[in-house]
Chain A
Amino acid sequence: MALVLLVFLVAPIVMIAVVSFWQATEFSIIPAFEFDNYEFLFGSSVTYRVFVNTFKYALITWAFTFLIGFAVAYFLAFHVRSLTWQIALFLLCTIPFWTSNIIRMISWIPFLGRNGIANSALMSWGVIDAPLDWLLFSDFAVILAFVHLYTLFMVVPIFNTMMRIDRALIEAARDAGANGLQILWNVIVPLCKPGIMIGSIFVITLVMGDFITVRFMSGSQSANVGRLISNDIALLQYPSAAATAMVLLATVLIVIAILLRFVDIRKEL
């Protein structure tokens, strides 16, 4: 197993690191050791804009998935009372996770398109006069798709930690005179922290590393780092793609390192 990880995880990263120092001409890539790619990367204002955009997506998506995920997990864990129902509803939530992401993105088209369901409904209700153009192929669509695809990654770990909370603690809090909100804030949220952190790690890394959702849902109008890399790849500019990839990797690892300070994954399994 260590072997598989070595060959297909460590080796590729090393390869990218090496290639990121290579020199690229229009026809070939030449082994070298120079910082041209990085110089170009950090010297370009596009890079900063794209990185800011990536963080923006990650942050907004995280906020939405967290709020929705927490509410759903809370409902499942504390309001559904029979175990059978809990399992059934939980499965209902997880099934979309096992189907194709691309299909799930495509399925937003009939909803959000210019003549789509959302626009026709709003027009027939008289809310708007002309179809809204920003529904599909916009930042809005990108974030909607992210939330749609990745909320599950929040629900599952939070639900998992919530199920392990000793119900006696909640009763004790109530006996001590806490109201519902106080119980939620002072008892449940702190005890769910590991689940929240694990969910956050998933969502943030998935969003930051994504390129296909952004490409597809923004209609090639917005960019994030993943798209920058995939564009370079399409132009066969492997060294520059590799340099961008290294910077992305470093960024993601820093974010994870910060999040991991709050939780010991090994202990939470």
Chain B
Amino acid sequence: MEPRPRSFYVLSVFFALFLLFLYGPTITIGILSFQGPGGGLTFPMRGTSLYWFRDLFEQQAVGDIWGSFRRSFALGLMVMVTTVVVSVMGGLAFRKKFPGATVLFYLIITSLVIPSILISLGVGLMFSQAGLTVHWATSGFGAQLTWTLPFGLLIMFAVFNRFDKSYEEAARDLGASPWQTLRHVVLPIIAPSLIGVALFGFTLSYDEFARTLLTAGSYNTLPLEIYGMTTNVTSPVLYALGTLTTLFSLAMIAVFLGITWIATRRRAAHGSDAGSGVV
């Protein structure tokens, strides 16, 4: 190993500062959410307590936090499942050329880059003009899919671009039907990436704000609820809620990463070489 150049140390410091920049504010509100009952929105801390967390569980005057959490969670799961299924199907379809593939591909890119408020406005308008009521599970669900699907699809494209076709050919030569090949060869190999897609689908939906704004109807999702609170709640209860949802997001990430880790371990223990085709 060659000695580390001086730029290494400069960049290490820079990287550490970047991490501080990323995490610092979040950690600060984490600390501030333990304010004593008399504390305000900023330092100094006036004692430590769980007062604001209790407040969060009791007072329901400013809306329906737990209901919105349940809705966000359900919506997140719906979006997650749909994203995974559709991304896999789309990824498989795009491996062969089919009529309209290019158009569809650019449509996907457009969907990714289009300002989110346009989707919100458009879906909202469409529903109101068609005489349908907007509801988080219909219009909100669709609006969020325009954001999570392209992400999932792009990941699947990347996966299938690196996919070694000889595995499938081997399966076919051994007499597997197309369905068996998919079920026992392709899916296990791409499984780790699927967990990634699922994580994207869930978290992007769970935190989505702009797209749900005009499409959620009368029942708010959690980000909308939090946004509503920022305009009329000026106590650390806001921080307590923020800390809780952040912890929840972190827990979800940990769960997904844990699943990946266990899956890799089990695969290693079985001595299977499946997955080595995926880099």
Closest-by-CB residue of A relative to B115 is A209
> Chain A: interface residue count, which band?
35 or more
Question: Are B15 and A75 in contact, with the CB atoms below 8 A?
Answer: yes
Contacting residues, chain B, for A151 (C-beta < 8 A):
18
B107 contacts the other chain (CB 8 A)? yes
Contacting residues, chain B, for A180 (C-beta < 8 A):
5, 7
Given contacts A110-B32, A117-B28, contact A99 B8 (CB under 8 A): no
Q: Which of B15, B117, B126 contacts A245 (CB 8 A)?
A: B117
Query: Which among B140-148, B173-181, B270-278 touches the partner chain?
Result: B140-148
Query: Which among A2-10, A32-40, A43-51, A189-197 touches the partner chain?
Result: A2-10
B78 contacts the other chain (CB 8 A)? no
Kindly state the separation between the CA atoms of A238 and B128 in the bound complex, as whole angstroms: 11
CB distance from B109 to the nearest CB of A (A): 7
Contacting residues, chain A, for B125 (C-beta < 8 A):
12, 15-16, 19, 238, 242
Contacting residues, chain B, for A269 (C-beta < 8 A):
154, 157-158, 161
A106 contacts the other chain (CB 8 A)? yes
Question: Are A103 and B245 in contact, with the CB atoms below 8 A?
Answer: yes
CB distance from A58 to the nearest CB of B (A): 12
Contacting residues, chain A, for B19 (C-beta < 8 A):
92-93
Kindly state the separation between the CA atoms of A211 and B113 in the bound complex, as whole angstroms: 15
Question: Are B18 and A72 in contact, with the CB atoms below 8 A?
Answer: yes
Please report which residues of chain A, range 81-111, place their CB below 8 angstroms from some CB of chain B when the two chains form the complex.
81, 89, 91-93, 95-96, 98-104, 106-111
Kindly state the separation between the CA atoms of A108 and B22 in the bound complex, as whole angstroms: 11
A30 contacts the other chain (CB 8 A)? no
Given contacts A72-B18, A212-B210, A238-B125, contact A4 B118 (CB under 8 A): no
CB distance from B95 to the nearest CB of A (A): 12
For B, the interface residue count at a CB cutoff of 8 angstroms equals 80
Question: Are B18 and A68 in contact, with the CB atoms below 8 A?
Answer: yes
Q: Which of A19, A68, A110, A209 contacts B114 (CB 8 A)?
A: A209
Given contacts A4-B145, A5-B107, A16-B125, contact A216 B22 (CB under 8 A): no
Question: Are B113 and A8 in contact, with the CB atoms below 8 A?
Answer: no
Contacting residues, chain A, for B249 (C-beta < 8 A):
98-100
Contacting residues, chain A, for B11 (C-beta < 8 A):
71, 74-75, 79
B74 contacts the other chain (CB 8 A)? no
B195 contacts the other chain (CB 8 A)? no
Contacting residues, chain B, for A75 (C-beta < 8 A):
11-12, 14-15
Query: Which among B53-61, B183-191, B223-231 touches the partner chain?
Result: B223-231
Contacting residues, chain A, for B257 (C-beta < 8 A):
91
Kindly state the separation between the CA atoms of A92 and B25 in the bound complex, as whole angstroms: 15
A186 contacts the other chain (CB 8 A)? no
Question: Are A248 and B118 in contact, with the CB atoms below 8 A?
Answer: yes
Kindly state the separation between the CA atoms of A11 and B127 in the bound complex, as whole angstroms: 11
Question: Are B143 and A96 in contact, with the CB atoms below 8 A?
Answer: no
CB distance from B165 to the nearest CB of A (A): 17
Closest-by-CB residue of A relative to B130 is A15
Closest-by-CB residue of B relative to A31 is B129
B77 contacts the other chain (CB 8 A)? no
Please report which residues of chain A, range 186-238, place their CB below 8 angstroms from some CB of chain B when the two chains form the complex.
201-202, 205, 208-212, 216, 226, 229-230, 233, 238
Given contacts A205-B115, A248-B118, contact A116 B105 (CB under 8 A): no
- 6 additional A-B pairs beyond A5-B111, A103-B29, beta carbons within 8 Å, are A9-B119, A100-B245, A102-B226, A111-B25, A245-B121, A265-B109
28 examples of A-B residue contacts, CB within 8 angstroms: A1-B89, A1-B153, A4-B149, A5-B111, A8-B146, A12-B126, A16-B122, A19-B125, A19-B129, A71-B11, A75-B11, A79-B4, A89-B15, A93-B19, A96-B23, A99-B246, A100-B249, A101-B209, A103-B29, A106-B238, A106-B239, A107-B28, A109-B42, A113-B41, A117-B42, A211-B210, A245-B117, A248-B118
Which residues of A pack against B, CB within 8 Å?
1-2, 4-5, 7-13, 15-16, 19, 68, 71-72, 74-76, 79, 81, 89, 91-93, 95-96, 98-104, 106-111, 113, 115-117, 120, 148, 151, 180, 201-202, 205, 208-212, 216, 226, 229-230, 233, 238, 241-242, 245, 248-249, 252-253, 256, 265-266, 269
Which residues of B pack against A, CB within 8 Å?
1, 4-5, 7-8, 11-12, 14-15, 18-19, 21-26, 28-29, 32, 41-43, 86, 89-90, 93, 100, 104-105, 107-111, 113-119, 121-123, 125-126, 129, 142-143, 145-146, 149, 153-154, 157-158, 161, 199, 203, 206-207, 209-210, 213-214, 223, 226-227, 230, 238-239, 242, 245-246, 249-250, 252-253, 257
